[in-house]
Chain A
């Protein structure tokens, strides 16, 4: 079995290229990924092996970024899980057609009336304001980003498709949400009002 190492031991041994430490790390990350992805049917053993191997390389590549704010193994598991989930999301959306998501114009489909007439009316008013703001308050880029994100495309996939850096996309989406929030507030819908109406409509 793998021996217990302190954070410093891990760093020291991995920096030295110690084969036992690398094997121990691989085994740990493989186990962690197995637990983290256990409920996913589309992930098989060979995926887990690949994810674990990739994760070890990433960890070795980023040792300098570990700052001791958590246990080393927690940090390494986070690198592994984040990488595996990013890869799985990418796979999931690889085949989604961009054309459908970026065709011009947005149409608003009214709500079905099964939520109760008064709730629907209040809710629809809110959504109509939001829909108008999407069309008028955002730049073209912001609108494209929000439209793709609303398709539940993950951030890395949207960034790739828009040809921008991930950080730039976070900023773009945050700016867009801020503008939409301003538009809602100008129309009399502050955050509490929005939440109240959403809650009423979901009853």
Chain B
């Protein structure tokens, strides 16, 4: 297959963000709720939560899930279904 210019550029960005101790997507999903509530409340982020923030900067899938969670948790009024 052809690895085109855009894909290589994307790969370069992914590679430059690689850290030995980075969180994997499944680890992010395990702690995304507490992260969401910390962000929502403006609380100081723990080091682990800062690692989540870094992961979200680089991972389109997790950030999509995070935004979905933000939307889902925007509780409507009591009669809104």
Tell me if chain B binds chain A: yes
B81 adjacent to A106 (CB under 8 Å): no
Produce 1/0 per residue, B34-55, CB < 8 A to A: 1011000000000000000000
Contacts of B26 in A (CB 8 A): 166-167, 170
Any chain B CB within 8 A of the CB of A131? Answer: yes
B3 adjacent to A77 (CB under 8 Å): no
A106 adjacent to B14 (CB under 8 Å): no
User: Considering only CB atoms and an 8 Å cut-off, how many residues of chain A contact the other chain?
Assistant: 64
B1 adjacent to A103 (CB under 8 Å): yes
Any chain B CB within 8 A of the CB of A203? Answer: no
Contacts of B10 in A (CB 8 A): 150
In the complex formed, the residue of A with least CB distance to B13 is A198
- From the candidates A2, A110, A166, name the one contacting B5 in the complex (CB within 8 A): A110
In the complex formed, the residue of B with least CB distance to A109 is B4
**CA gap between A127 and B10 in the complex, in Å:** 10
Least distance between A185 CB and chain B CB atoms (Å): 10
**CA gap between A155 and B42 in the complex, in Å:** 31
B68 adjacent to A181 (CB under 8 Å): no
- From the candidates B14, B36, B71, B79, name the one contacting A35 in the complex (CB within 8 A): B71
- From the candidates A85, A167, A180, A198, name the one contacting B68 in the complex (CB within 8 A): A85
| A131 touching B24 in the complex, CB below 8 Å, given contacts A31-B76, A69-B33, A101-B1 | no
Any chain B CB within 8 A of the CB of A11? Answer: no
- From the candidates B7, B17, B72, name the one contacting A77 in the complex (CB within 8 A): B72
* 6 closest cross-chain pairs (CB), A and B: A32-B72, A70-B33, A36-B68, A81-B68, A194-B16, A77-B72
Interface residues, chain A, CB within 8 Å of chain B?
1-2, 27, 29-33, 35-38, 69-71, 73-75, 77-78, 80-82, 84-85, 89, 100-103, 105-112, 123, 126-127, 130-131, 134, 146-147, 150, 154-155, 166-167, 170-171, 174, 177-178, 180-181, 184, 191, 194-195, 198, 201
Interface residues, chain B, CB within 8 Å of chain A?
1-5, 7-18, 20, 22, 24-26, 29, 31-34, 36-37, 61, 64-65, 67-69, 71-74, 76, 78-81
